[in-house]
Amino acid sequence: MFTDLKTEIEALLHVNAYPLIGPQTESEFVTIQLISDPPIVSGTIRTTLVAGRYQISFVSSHYSRTEDMDKTLWGVWQNIAQGFIGTYPVQYVERSGLSESYDTADGGKYRRARDFIFYYPEGAS
């Protein structure tokens, strides 16, 4: 899932995407971190789906750009119903928690961290 997610983010936002931490030498980038991926269980019924919670952080020296990047991804992903992100099958996407910060180091950068929950089959390829 990570590779398809990274490729789609880079194509939609025209910025580089990195796992966990981006380089301080770039003025704009996205970081991706898998937070949790529990299986979907309903009572005694276990499915092959997982709820993969990814934190996607938008980093830019312009606050409005972090908002725009967030809105762009949600604009595409909110309509997914048994579709794909890249070539990876995704049942549904949910938008969740949000946090923001500003770092004065290296000329100042805004960070908007958004949680997205992707429902997808575990082990799909």
Give pTM, 2 decimals.
0.91
- What pLDDT digit, counting tens, does each position of 62-76 carry? 999 999 999 999 999
Q: Comparing 42 with 81, which gets the higher pLDDT?
A: 81
- Both tokens assigned to 67: 């908002």
CATH, residue 14: 3.30.2000.30
In this prediction, residue 15 has a pLDDT band, given cuts at 50, 70 and 90, of: very high
CA distance 35 to 108: 26
Domain that holds residue 50: 2-121
**What's the domain count of the chain?**
1
CA distance 88 to 111: 27
**pLDDT value at position 107?**
78
Instruction: Say whether pLDDT at 125 is over 70.
Output: no
- Both tokens assigned to 108: 């100042």
Mean pLDDT of 43-67: 93
CA distance 76 to 61: 24
**pLDDT value at position 78?**
96
Please report where in the chains the tokens 């194509």 appear, as a residue.
11
**Least confident segment among 8-17, 19-28, 95-104, 109-118:** 19-28
Which residue(s) pair with 88 in the sheet? 85
